[in-house]
Amino acid sequence: MKKTLLFLVLSNSILASPCGPFEFSFFVKDKVHTKNVQLCPIKQKDFVSPACLNGYCPQLKTYPIKMKLKRNGLKTHPGAELCKKLKGTYLTGSLLEKAKSSQNALCFFNDGNIVSIGYLYSQWKKGITVTTSQSP
């Protein structure tokens, strides 16, 4: 009896998915755009699309990479530059789930995968060689 109950508890926790629908609102050329997306929370403000859970998407498969960060007065988050280097589209906006809203920066890829830039950078940072570019 105890083994069966333990199996049921474990099965339910494995099958339960933390992923769910979110509404992402962002500005492009002074116009508000809204996109409905499926995301899975990884940490407090880090999210990935379901295909990227546990690092199973190509954007989280790391290799050595060199990046130049553009710093003209304000610091650029390295995750934003990494997103562009990986041919993603970097957007900041408001992520809404169950009437809770938070500011997030996400990287959208052509294959439909989405990764928050903080999580993207945290997965890649060991393999990145960063240089800064000086403005004239």
Cα 103 from Cα 121, distance rounded (Å): 17
Residue 45 DSSP one-character state: S
% helix / strand / coil in the chain, to the nearest 5? 30, 40, 25
User: pLDDT tens across 63-105, in order?
Assistant: 999 887 665 555 678 889 899 999 999 999 988 876 566 788 9
User: Tokens 């304000």 — which residue?
Assistant: 74
Task: Delimit the domains of the chain by residue range.
Answer: 19-133
Report pLDDT for 102. Answer: 78
Report pLDDT for 118. Answer: 92
**Number of other CB atoms surrounding residue 116 within 10 Å:** 23
pTM: 0.77
15 or 44, higher pLDDT:
44
User: pLDDT tens across 37-54, in order?
Assistant: 999 998 778 999 999 998
| DSSP result, 26-39 | EEETTEEEEEEEEE
